[in-house]
Amino acid sequence: MTSPTPSPAPSSSPLPPSVLDLAPVIPVVVVEDAGDAVPLARALVAGGLPAIEVTLRTPVALDAIRAIAAQVPEAVVGAGTVISPEHVTQSVEAGARFLVSPGWTDVLLEAMRASGVPFLPGVSTTSEVVALLERGVREMKFFPAEAAGGTAYLKSLAGPLPQARFCPTGGIRPASAPEYLALPNVPCVGGTWLVPEDALAARDWGRIEKLARDAAALRG
């Protein structure tokens, strides 16, 4: 990610040079009940996945980010589905330590860059990748990964554009994740399978921790 990393609060875990290097999988979670945010984050962290993307798809998403940032210092919580400068401001104020967008415009890109936190703008075409490289951005979200060409597309980008690094997200499952992670330009993938709807509804944190542990072991 290309923006400078801000100094973390004393209780927060420090970021590595890139959030992409924290773990092989970044869980992509949709929180419907803010009360689930902290135990969910603790389960994911206990399973070995400290970077957590909370999508801004629900009314409680910012509250969830705020709670995780305050109560789970081992987590590196980020905001996903960031699609406006307002989202950028709200997410950072809530405690998001990185930002992820499904796509990008110059307005959104500049807002993310000005936020002072790392960010992953979304791309799905070679032209979008080249445009971001021109702007000094080398780490991106590839979305929707499976629908946009999957591993074959990313492999074809590695030759002419080796400086670009991707976190593919969208349609990736445990069986296909290792194929992505084997690519030289894919340090991690985004995964929604870590938090099944039935496990979240049952508040089965043990099951979610087990899924996280299995995901953390995808790259031994």
> Residues with catalytic annotation?
53, 141
**How far apart, in whole angstroms, are the C-alpha atoms of residue 94 and residue 142?**
25
Residue 83 is encoded by which pair of tokens?
Answer: 């699609």
**How far apart, in whole angstroms, are the C-alpha atoms of residue 169 and residue 122?**
9
Residue 121 is encoded by which pair of tokens?
Answer: 């703008």
DSSP string, 39-61: HHHHHHHHTT--EEEEETTSTTH
- In the DSSP assignment, the letter for residue 90 is H
76: three-class secondary structure by DSSP: strand
